[in-house]
Structure 1
Amino acid sequence: MNVVVIGGAGRVGARVVSELAKVSDANIIIADRNKPRDSSFEFVELDLADGESLRRAVRGAQVVVNTSGPFDRWGTVVLDAAIECGVDYIDVCDDPAPTIELLKRDEAARNAGVRAVVGLGISPGMSNLLAVVAARHLDSIDLLTTFWGRPGDGKDLEEATEFANSMASAFEGGRAAFTHLIAQAAADIPVWRNGAAAYEPAWRAAYRVTTSDGETGLYRVIGHPEPVTLPHTVASRDCINIGTIEEGADRLLLPYLDQVGAGELSEAEALGAIAADLRAHPEKLVTERVGNPIKAFVGVAATGDKGGAQSGIVVLPGGPVDGSMSLETARPAVVGVLVLSDVPVGVHSPETAFDPDKYLTAYSDTYWDGAAPYVVDVAGPKAVERAE
């Protein structure tokens, strides 16, 4: 099987390449504008703005894995080329707007006999499938939340200073992931409220997730594809995605997000200003501990009705998801390549592409030594609540 990894020399793409090489005998071709550090794989120089260059890279493959952002610029370009060339497609798009555009290619993909899965990373991706599992444990859902990040309340000044300096260095690096975070957190974002699509400001509303044994975390609403796609498969009154850097840093961001939203700062300028604030005022990250933090980096929490009473569910991955974000984003896409034959033709979000038990079992067999594919915690009505 020939697998072309678009952006295979980048952070996530390189992880897709190395992980796929470990778990399969696929012939892997790296297509990128830059040469990869690992010269053991076939390399094709690629200019995404040149249609013929892109078609040349894709033609003859069985699967193309697209890791090249920004997806609002290149997502549909690569998918269109894959459909034209009759090649199956997977990407790791985590932006709601291009997700909507990618899904509009469904009819063209079906006509071409192409299987395409959009947003097959850790969140979206694994989170979507955990949400389907959560829905099985409630008769009706009032609030469905996918969440990500490591809660970090309970820091004293020494701990806050260490974390502030670490975060400042990351923000000063100007990585695309942080620029994307600021852009999404400063905008009005798509959510699902009262049974319909809606928009609301990101990052202002906070929600607390709590498990049955008291592990807890505070997260803020942010733009992600899950609330765009999940409500069409999982019926819920409200559906949102929530995330956290950590509690103190989440609050510190708020005034800078206002300035980005008002056009007073660019995303890059905001990153620099936030980094300076973190270094100058680490005390802003001092917080009281509410409970032991949720250990899982990603999960789903839902509240609703079960047997005529209010209940709530927290669903977590069955194994560790605690590596770098590039690694944890790459691995679900790699498993997707392995089980892509299960997917019907057409363009799918993860929850319509895969049966969660089959996919997550395949994931566990690949990365968790066959552990349980997920953990379901009957956490009660306080599984997820709006925080004042």
Structure 2
Amino acid sequence: MRVLALGGSGGMGRATVRAALTYDFVTEIVVAGIDGELAERFVASLNDPRVRNLSLDITDSQALRQAMDSVDVVLNSTGPFFRFGVPILTAAIEAGKHYCDICDDWQPTLQMLELSEQAQRKGVKAVIGLGASPGIINLLSVKAASTLDQVDTLVSAWKLSGAINDDDGFTPPPTAGQVDAAAVHLMHCLSEKIRILHQGQFIDSKPLEHSVLDFPTLGELDVWSLGHPEAVTLVRRFPQLQNCYNGMLGIEDLVADLRAVAEAVANGQVSVDDAARQLAGDGGRAARQERLAAKDRADVPSALAYAAGYKNGQPATAGAFIGNRPSGGMATITGIPHALFLPLLHHGDIQRTGVFAPEEVIDPDRFFELFDPFCGEQGADLTVLCSAD
């Protein structure tokens, strides 16, 4: 299997490439990115003849298609996805290449799902949003919902305190004017209306709306809503859903600051990129993480799924989370699931052609079976709880 890793020298891309190299059936990985020097250094460090680097500007459509010509699978880690998701998937489908990404924006998610018929005609299998959130958390949602006889509400939530990467030795030092893609994504999510499922209908709502979940064994958890793909894709797996949204945990002390910056973007006072620079700047990021860590509940996992509905005719709730995660921070918890598309594809676990969210075509138990070896001796320690049990 020959693989093109777009953004493969970035933080999450590097985690994807390292995980992909653990599989013998992978015969070649082309690490492609606009920073050719970084890609070259990263590839050299791997000391694996199956890997080579390619300097590539993904906005050059001709060069992008040429890069796809010699591979079987495209793994796309290049964000922000509200800019790059649709054109790259479109190119992969036109080239007849299987595709997977870590798209975490809901608008391009809907646009990419509309390309499913084109992918079917080309025999392409494409999974979008196979990272941590979305990705792992979608499959946790399936596990939680499956414990109930009827599920009405699904909420996926994660800690902002966990949204940092460990330094793997290839993180470039910040430069003047540099903008962090993850921070751009966050400001984009917070400065525009978000799509959620409410009382059986999709509505466009304000971000950072507060709710409280009564999570089995953990008690009350405060959640602030965020625009994410889970809110618009889980209903495809559970069409009876009435309510579905994604949110952040443990940001009580940051909500006012986030709202203020997001409002400035929404009013045109500052660009998304400049707001991201402010959010991710040395002082801003360090101060933010310190404030989050000070209030972090140790008993609450970094990401979880909550379901509400009925079991045995009575109201019930359920929850799912993993107790262990790979070392390396946000990069590995996102990049490793991305790489798992390869064994799922190779072993025939993904049977349908078209464009899908993870929960539509991936069996959670099979996924966590593949994920466990990356999480230490005890594996991911998948936990599923139900209030009716």
Q: TM bucket by the smaller chain?
A: 0.7 to 0.9
Contact 2:180/2:276 (8 A) holds in 1: no
Question: Tell me, which stretches of 5 or more residues in structure 1 are unaligned?
Answer: 153-168, 382-388
Of residues 358, 361, 367, the one that matches 1:359 is 367
Corresponding residue of 1:162? none
Percent pairwise identity? 29
Deviations 1:247-273 (A, max 9, x none): 212333222222222222323443566
Per-residue CA distance 1:135-177 (angstroms, 9 max, x = gap):
111222332101111579xxxxxxxxxxxxxxxx9xx974221
Q: Deviations over 1:183-211 (max 9, x none)?
A: 211210010111121110001x1233454
Q: Which residue of 1 aligns with 2:198?
A: 193
Give the counterpart letter for 1:29 in structure 2: V
Task: State the Cα distance separating 1:328 from its structure 2 match.
Answer: 1.1
Give yes or no for the alignment of 1:231 onto 2:238: no
Is the 1:260–1:270 Cα contact (8 Å) retained in structure 2? yes
2:161 and 2:243 map into 1 onto residues whose CA distance is: 23
Which residue in the other structure is 2:383 paired with?
A: 375
Matched position secondary structure for 2:17: helix
Alignment of structure 1 residues 1-388 onto 2, 5 Å? 1-26=1-26, 27-35=28-36, 36=39, 37-40=41-44, 41-149=51-159, 174-203=179-208, 205-214=209-218, 217-234=221-238, 235-244=240-249, 246-271=251-276, 292-317=297-322, 319-320=324-325, 323-340=328-345, 341-343=348-350, 344-369=352-377, 371=379, 374-379=382-387
How far the C-alpha of 1:114 sits from its partner, in A, is: 1.0
Q: 1:186 to 1:31 in 2, by over 3 A?
A: same
Q: TM-score, normalised by structure 2?
A: 0.83
With normalisation by structure 1, the TM-score equals 0.83
Q: CA deviation at 1:303?
A: 1.6
* Structure 2 gaps, min length 5: 45-50, 163-173
Partner SS state of residue 39, structure 1: helix
Letter in 2 for 1:342: D
SS of equivalent to 1:9: coil
Q: Secondary structure at the match of 2:340?
A: helix
Alignment check: 8 A CA contact 1:360 1:373 kept: no
CA distance in 2, matches of 1:272, 1:3: 32
Over the aligned positions, Cα root-mean-square deviation in angstroms equals 3.2
Q: Distance in 1 between matches of 2:86 and 2:358?
A: 17
Partner Cα distance (1:372, 1:245) in 2: 22
* Residue-pair matches, total: 361
- What's the offset of the Cα at 1:355? 1.4
Q: Secondary structure at the match of 1:339?
A: helix
State the distance in 1 between where 2:384 and 2:147 align: 9
- Preserved CA contact (<8 Å) 2:119 2:355: yes
Q: CA contact under 8 A between 1:296 and 1:320: conserved in structure 2?
A: no
3-state SS of paired residue (2:75): strand
Deviation of 1:223 (Å): 0.4
**SS in structure 2 of the partner of residue 138 of structure 1:** coil
* Deviation string, structure 1 residues 303-360 (Cα, Å, up to 9, x no partner): 2222222211110025325641121110101111111132111111101121112222
Closer/same/farther in 2, CA of residues 288 and 346 from structure 1, 3 Å limit: closer
Change (3 A) 1:24 1:252: farther
Conserved 8 A contact 2:131-2:333: yes
Counterparts of 2:387 and 2:160, CA distance in 1: 19
One-letter amino acid of the structure 2 residue matched with residue 299 of structure 1: L
Relative to 1, partners in 2 of residues 1:50 and 1:315: Cα closer, same or farther, differing over 3 Å?
Answer: same
Question: CA offset at residue 295 of structure 1?
Answer: 3.5
